[in-house]
Amino acid sequence: MTLLAGSSLEVGRFRAYGPRHIDEIGDRYGLSGDAREAIRLISLVLPFRVNDYVLSQLIDWTRVPDDPIYRLVFPQRGMLSDEQERILSVLSAAGDRNRLQEAVRTIRADLNPHPSGQKELNVPTLGDVQIPGLQHKYRETVLYFPSQGQTCHAYCTYCFRWAQFVGDADLRFAAPNPDQLITYLGQHPDVSDVLITGGDPMIMTTERLRAHIEPLLAVDTVRTIRIGSKSPAYWPYRYTTDPDADDLLRLFERVVASGRTLALMAHYSHPRELETDEARTALARIRRTGAVVYCQAPLIKYVNDDVDTWARLWRLEFAAGAVPYYQFVERDTGPHAYFRVPLARSVEIFHGAFRTLPGLARTVRGPVMSATPGKVIVDGVEETPQGRYFRLRFMQARQPSLVGRPFRAHYSPTAAWLTELELDPDTPDDIMTAIDGGASRIGRWTREAAHVQS
Ligand code: SF4
């Protein structure tokens, strides 16, 4: 691969590039006028951010626009509909700021900014008052969104939390400090895991991060602190040469020394993110603190939608001492139509790659949909005298009694999300209700009644 002559770049000192820098990036890396215009238009709606490490070390510019890391971070044509692009283009050319902003708001609302009912279903309360910056979906795990960690070292074009980065206050979750979290944990001793997430909490300085983590160490019932981060992929210097990198590693050691598990939930989308010296050094330093690195990413068209990419990714993770953990299905939000991969194909890719792994690396689960009622894995496809079905199972559930329960849905070559599946009419009532509020059952009754009447 041809990496960029980044000689004039000071990779190692963080600098973020956004829509204002399209021409600077374009001039440096030879982006066409059309690609620049596409980035400019799409980034009116979806967030765009990149840094020198991603630009100079991860993207293979000889393969742009097909390069998977380019697809991962740069907005491209097709992410919005032709009509949406046309409207943005016309209003932008006309310089009509008010109508442009209105169109941007409308398009964002059409892109399902909060999938899985996050704003309505998962927000916990103290008394009758909702707590900003917390989500409590599964009994044992609370998600915590510190307000200073609501950005990332670069943005993924497929991000399911894109709504948090577009500056619309109504779309943000964030907690200014952990006070309410600590009170809430005191009232919920069954919560053993706190997932600090964002954005990317590792965007914070160590001092800030410490202010969010240390109070958790005083809560005995919290046994695992998870940190969701793509920094080992997008900015490995966070663990090596950033001014407070060593302090960060001491903080990790302190969590581990408290007797808790510190789990860095690392987001690696493509093997290339593990192939640089910086990435390998960062992982080795993290692991030396006693933290455990779990790896997860969604399966995304144009980025990692083939068997070989996943097989290489999981092998590299395993070789680095990290744990391959989840392969997710891309969520139904943002440019989902652009990135979607049918479940039927996802199952083939998962099992094709899984089969190549040594036994110890077969820790990974997938393809998994993190959907409204819980995490649903597609275990495979079965042929029966009645037809083909997807075999499904709850890995995790809002309703604990559903965890581990299998069910099935009619096979579809095109369905890419749980809501696009037709459940087997014999699905138990509690599962049916959790998934679609019983709509499938009602549909069956209606069909049967029509049949009886006809
Ligand atoms: S790193 Fe995570 S939160 Fe940040 S843009 Fe990527 S997917 Fe979204």
Give residue 122's pLDDT. Answer: 82
Give residue 84's pLDDT. Answer: 95
Region 328-345 average pLDDT: 93
Give residue 119's pLDDT. Answer: 58
Query: CB–CB of 19/126 below 8 Å?
Result: no
How far away, in angstroms, is 267 Cα from ligand 1 center?
8
* 398 CB near ligand 1 (under 6 Å): no
Best residue among 58, 73, 150, 156 to mutate for probing ligand 1, ranked by most atoms within 8 Å of CB: 156
Best residue among 200, 202, 270, 339 to mutate for probing ligand 1, ranked by most atoms within 8 Å of CB: 200
How far away, in angstroms, is 162 Cα from ligand 1 center?
8
Query: CB–CB of 369/417 below 8 Å?
Result: yes
* 260 CB near ligand 1 (under 6 Å): no
Give residue 114's pLDDT. Answer: 76
How far away, in angstroms, is 166 Cα from ligand 1 center?
13
Give residue 181's pLDDT. Answer: 96
Residue 6 has pLDDT above 80, yes or no: no
**Least confident span in 153-167, 219-233, 348-362, 387-401:** 153-167
pLDDT tens readout for residues 410-451? 999 999 999 999 999 999 999 999 987 655 554 444 444 444
DSSP characters over 5-67: -GGGS-TTS--EE-GGGHHHHHHHHT--HHHHHHHHHHTTTS---EEHHIIIII--GGGTTT-
Residue 452 has pLDDT above 60, yes or no: no
- Dihedral over alpha carbons 154, 308, 367, 357 (to 10 degrees): -110
Cβ neighbours, 10 Å, residue 378: 22
Peptide bond into 324 cis (omega under 30): no
* 152 CB near ligand 1 (under 6 Å): yes
Q: How far is CA 34 from CA 41, 64, 88, 95, 209, in A?
A: 11, 13, 15, 20, 41
DSSP state of 238: G
Angle (nearest 5°) at CA 416 between 412 and 421: 50
Give residue 172's pLDDT. Answer: 56
Residue 78's Cβ-count burial label (10 Å; 0-12, 13-18, 19+) is middle
* 331 CB near ligand 1 (under 6 Å): no
How far away, in angstroms, is 159 Cα from ligand 1 center?
5
Give residue 132's pLDDT. Answer: 87
Phi first, then psi, for residue 171 (nearest 5°) are -95, 0
Is the model more confident about 310 or about 10? 310
Alpha-carbon gap, residue 177 to 83, rounded angstroms: 42
The chain-wide mean pLDDT, for the chain, equals 91
Alpha-carbon gap, residue 298 to 369, rounded angstroms: 9
How far away, in angstroms, is 92 Cα from ligand 1 center?
27
Give residue 97's pLDDT. Answer: 92
How far away, in angstroms, is 228 Cα from ligand 1 center?
9
**Least confident span in 172-176, 225-229, 337-341:** 172-176
Give residue 270's pLDDT. Answer: 98
Residue whose CA is closest, atom 3 of ligand 1?
199
The fraction of the chain above a pLDDT of 90, given in percent, is 80
Angle (nearest 5°) at CA 315 between 75 and 274: 45
How far away, in angstroms, is 73 Cα from ligand 1 center?
10
Domains of the chain, start order: 6-110 (no CATH), 115-358 (3.20.20.70), 373-454 (no CATH)
* 155 CB near ligand 1 (under 6 Å): yes
**Least confident span in 67-71, 106-110, 256-260:** 106-110
Give residue 50's pLDDT. Answer: 98
Residue 235 has pLDDT above 50, yes or no: yes
Q: Are strands 193-196 and 224-229 parallel, antiparallel or unpaired?
A: parallel
How far away, in angstroms, is 411 Cα from ligand 1 center?
31
Give residue 377's pLDDT. Answer: 98
Q: Are strands 125-126 and 323-329 parallel, antiparallel or unpaired?
A: unpaired
Give residue 443's pLDDT. Answer: 47
* 153 CB near ligand 1 (under 6 Å): no
